[in-house]
Chains A and B, each alone.
Chain A
Amino acid sequence: MRDKLLKGIAAGADKKPVIILLVALVITAIMGVMSEQLRLDMHFKNLMPQNHPMVNEFNRIVEDYTSASMIIVAATGEEKQLKSFAEELAPQIRSMKNVIRPVDVTMDTSFINRHGFMLQKAKNLKNNADIFQDLNLIPFLTHLNDSFEKTYVQDEESISTKEKENNAVAFLDGIQTWLTTLDAYITGNGGLQKAQVATDRFLGGETYMISQDKDMLLMMVQPNFTINDLDKVLVTVDSIDALIAEVVKNYSGLEAGTTGTMALSRDETVAASEDMYITSIIAMLLIIALFIVSFRMWVAPVLAGITLIVGVTWTAGFAAVTLGSLNIMTSMFAVILIGLGVDFSIHVISIFTESRAAGQATGKALESALLKSGQGIITGAFTTAAAFYTLTISETAGMAEFGLLAGSGVLFCMLATLVVLPAMLSLRDRMLLRMHREAGTARTTEFGFLGKTAGIIAGKRTSFLIGLVIATALMFWFARQITFDYNYLNMEPEGLKSIKLQHLMEDEFEATPDFAMITAQSIEESRRIAEKAKDMKMVGMVTSISEYIPSKKEQRKRAPYIEKIRMYLKNQPLLRGVRPAQLEKFLEQVCRLQDNIIELAQLAYLGGQDKVDAKCKMLAGDPENPEDSGLFGKLYKDVKTDTRLALQGVNRFQQDIAPLMQHKALRMANADEITLAELPATIADQFLSKKGDKFLITIYPKESVWNFEFLERFTDRMQNLDPRVTGMPLVFYVLIQKIAVDGRNAAMLTLVVVFLLLLWDFRRVSFVLMAMVPLIVGAFWMVGAMYLSGLQLTMVNLMGLPLILGIGIDDGVHLLHRFRYEGGGNISSVFKSTGKAVLLTSLTTMLAFGSLVFATYRGLGSLGIALFIGVAACFLTSVLFLPALLTFVKTDKGNK
């Protein structure tokens, strides 16, 4: 049946090559046009099972909360330049049509100005109220010190969580600005503007989103589309990057770019797209080079290349219709098809040129080529495709889609090889005949060593089999030692600007994108969940709307302290100048403040609170560096330089800052109840769904979630906290679990399917087992060799295991077919001839997979190396095991 079909194809190609090629061209053109619709979406969320509740919830949040789709402009440099750059850039971004809300350069202070004190805990208000009793500098500093000691020095718990640590840093930051301004006045450089900044920072904190050491600034850009709208993401992020590039020219020493999920998505898409083209071209070039070296003929690679392009184009068109977009796993389909599909052409061209060289006519040579290689090609293609198709049982969308695409792609390549290639070979012969030229003969490089080796192994089969079993046992032991790299970041492209900026942002702001998210139905529920999360040791920080709307009970508790502050501020004593005799008293309080900060620094060091320690160092100097006396050292030095001038400065400072403090604090001392309606959009949008009926809680882990043990515990604790929880790390955790199960199931099913297909093909169990032994042993060798090469299993290269079971079987199939075709007997000649083709096909596949190393996506590189090793392992096990095993088989001469 198959022979008849193959003979028919050969005859058709011989007689009507032009018609066949024209039909193929039309189909290819149509599929090519369709493939233009194919998009790349590299977010690992796309690999997750369809309709998984965690993914559904993740997608709902992305759609429901505008804050989930932000473009972050991140800049590094000197503080003044950073702020000026942000102010210049912001209006230009605002004028873009896809940006709906004013770009946030500074935080919305209107709400803080109205309710600043109501947002502070009752305990802190109690400690801080007296600060506002008398804004004359000496009593102010005395009360500030009292408050400092009560809040921080006498209560080490006040910096025990990340949130408390951040609050302490904000408080110290306010003191730093206040002292810096005081020093400016002392040196004659003060002014109302500086006093206003000091007041704002002291009472309300920093308004710019700037890092603790003031060398990184962020701007939040809110687009009017979500991350799911990839086309708009690409255009908008590109436009913002162009604006940044233009503005940044005016600021030397400043660097800026975009980051956040949208910028990452753009960069990943661009990188993946480049990867697809670059790796495909590299694979193609390497294979052509191999062809030229081994066949000494330039036409063969051209024809094989055209056949491949046809097969890949048909597959791309198929992908556009069935999948619509490619993900991190399916994006490498072209390289995989180049590696696998070219093998079919090698077999056909090899035998065709041999037959022509032997003097056969074109038609007869085509028939020979298809009959001799067609059986193996069809079986090989179907077994490989079946192995890929087994992946479609996977729950993970990434693996299932890859299985469908790669399986179909192999069949498309087989079809192109059996239909298009013979027609091209026939047409080429015709053209050469018309030009009265002889068709070039492929002068293949001899691979006699394969035949000789096979002969030796067959001759000493027992010794070789014992040796191979020992080697396999060793490789099995090594394979068991291999570890898994759970860090998804190691899969991502290296060197992308958005990723670099993101890492920098994580360091500077401890703002990782790796957080958990829960949506609550009410503010009260939001508060309950947030409070429970804050109690967890593994949680670093929690943000929820309840931070801005304290409970009624809590607000009632805070109100009396706010009233007290208000009363103090309304009944301020008159400002009294600091007299020369009082300068010492004033400096005593400054010195007390310094001591308090030093003690806080020591407690922070003992408790491991790095951020507080670092901030204290800026103020009080580095305790490990006697030369560094910090801001206080400078202040004392400036006072000593000219005491009279210093006193004037202190008095001017008091005159300027006291009324400003009184005015601002009075506005903040508002005991009215805070309601949801009062929240400004900039704050509400972070927590409130578009319909305003759900409330987002974001939970940041204390340490990197890419430590798998931590991720496992974090996921478990978060799911205990609330089963609705979602977020990138949790989605990733579920994905890893699913991939492990899918990979194992697919591998088992592949073995069963391969077994059945081989049984259908060979119809003898002994042949099936012989084909499968090198395959299974090869898989162990592959993992063992990966371990020996220092590689780890990854989420992406794990897929290589079921793949290699489908790919690696081809070697044995071709060798066994040839063995049967030759009627058994001469093992050396089987390996000399077909062994050569098997070696070449293995090399082409290895080169194609190896080209993935050039992908910027390191995950693809890890798969490429794994498959490179896997194909080599399967080739080795085939040419080492089969010669020994075949000696046990008796084949009938007529079993062709």
Chain B
Amino acid sequence: MMKALIVLLIVFWTGSVSAQELSVLEIIRKIDATERVASSKSQGKQIITTSGGKKRTLEMIAFSKNRNEKQLMVYTAPKRIKGDKILMLNEGDDIWFYTPKTDRVRHLASHAKRQKVQGSDFNYEDMAGGKIEEDYTCKLLGSEEIDGRKSYKLELIPTESGPHYSKLILWADAERFITLRIDYYEDGELLKRLLCKDIRNIQGHWYAMKLIMTNLLEGGETVFETEEIEFDLELDDTIFTTKYLKRR
């Protein structure tokens, strides 16, 4: 789920223009128009590092609707967390947690968006939706090759209402219009790097099946891997309700 959400965000940021003469705005709008998907259902895994230094793989099915405004994660493995669910509404401002072990739904406190998603190097705001055009002031820095692909290099400076980073540098595939890499800066320091790998065309959508977020300042890496994904599904709104959480 998380992966799907992040990819959606990346997709959101990614431009789809074939010529250098397009303006930055056109590139960004092209990205939005091409890649923002209305809904998705994915199956994948997240690899986290525990406080005891062990690697733990969590498997899940994730749903998203309204361009990440509503998100649901259903954990499937390991057995210990099978059936645990996390529901995020209002772009992560409201979070509910359910575990079949107690059969209770708990409203978790609203998280500041810059807080880290459990066990990972992603922040909630990395996963939140939102228009790149509204959240950033953008500048085209030129074109570079990333993994052998020609890509646009964009500088994104967050607006006042945008994310807390001081700057993002985003590389987007100039043909496929999908993000290949993002460098996150905080107070002028390169903080972390997102690499989007194993890009495939699924139902007409270019999609990165593997996301690797590396914390360059302090170390640590979080990997999201998508095994299957479907786009533009008719997802019932009831899926994204607290009542649905209790459904087995």
Contacts and interface: CB of A to CB of B under 8 A. Distances in A.
Contact of A607 (B79, B106, B111, B119): B119
A466 interface: no
Interface stretch (B48-56, B155-163, B205-213): B48-56
Given A538-B219, A623-B101, A607 B118 contact: yes
A609 B51 contact: yes
B102 A599 contact: yes
Given A602-B84, A602-B99, A608-B118, A149 B106 contact: yes
A538 B218 contact: yes
Interface in A143-162: 149, 153-157, 160, 162
Question: Binding site of A, secondary structure by majority: helix, strand, loop or mixed?
Answer: helix
Interface in A459-506: none
B142 interface: no
A612 to B, nearest CB: 8
Contacts of B247: none
Contact of B84 (A155, A160, A162, A606): A606
Contacts of B215: 537
Contacts of B53: 703-704
Interface residues of A, number: 33
Contacts of A702: 51
B97 A603 contact: yes
Given A537-B215, A606-B58, A608-B56, A165 B84 contact: no
Given A160-B116, A605-B80, A624-B80, A610 B52 contact: yes
Interface in A597-634: 598-599, 602-603, 605-611, 623-624
Interface string B50-74: 1111101010000000000000000
Nearest to A707: B219
B107 interface: yes
B33 interface: no
A155 B48 contact: no
Contact of B106 (A165, A599, A713): A599
Contact of B50 (A157, A595, A609, A624): A609
B95 to A, nearest CB: 8
B146 interface: no
Given A156-B118, A605-B81, A606-B81, A165 B51 contact: yes
B13 interface: no
A537 B56 contact: no
B80 A623 contact: yes
B97 to A, nearest CB: 7
Contact of A599 (B52, B58, B79, B104): B104
Interface string B154-195: 000000000000000000000000000000000000000000
A155 B104 contact: no
Contact of A611 (B52, B79, B107): B52
B68 to A, nearest CB: 20
Nearest to B48: A608
Contacts of A599: 97, 99, 101-102, 104, 106
A165 B116 CA distance: 15
Contacts of A153: 97, 106, 108
Contacts of B80: 605, 623-624
Given A165-B51, A599-B97, A602-B99, A608 B119 contact: yes
A424 B109 CA distance: 89
Contacts of A537: 215, 217-220
Contacts of A598: 99, 101-102
Nearest to A620: B101
Contacts of A609: 50-51
Contacts of A704: 53
Contacts of A160: 115-116
A714 B17 CA distance: 42
A537 B122 CA distance: 12
A885 to B, nearest CB: 49
B75 interface: yes
A709 interface: yes
A724 B143 CA distance: 43
A606 B119 contact: yes
A536 interface: yes
A624 B106 contact: no
A43 interface: no
A534 interface: no
B118 A154 contact: no
B219 A709 contact: yes
A28 B102 CA distance: 82
A155 B108 contact: yes
Contacts of A595: 102, 104
Given A157-B109, A599-B102, A610-B51, 10 more contacts: A157-B111, A538-B219, A538-B220, A606-B58, A606-B119, A607-B119, A610-B52, A610-B54, A703-B53, A713-B218
29 contacts: A153-B97, A154-B109, A162-B51, A536-B218, A537-B215, A537-B217, A537-B218, A537-B219, A537-B220, A538-B218, A538-B219, A595-B104, A599-B102, A599-B104, A599-B106, A603-B97, A606-B84, A607-B118, A607-B119, A608-B54, A608-B56, A609-B50, A609-B51, A611-B52, A623-B80, A624-B80, A713-B218, A713-B219, A717-B217
The 6 residue pairs across chains A and B that have the minimum distance between CB atoms? A608-B50, A610-B52, A538-B218, A607-B118, A608-B119, A595-B102
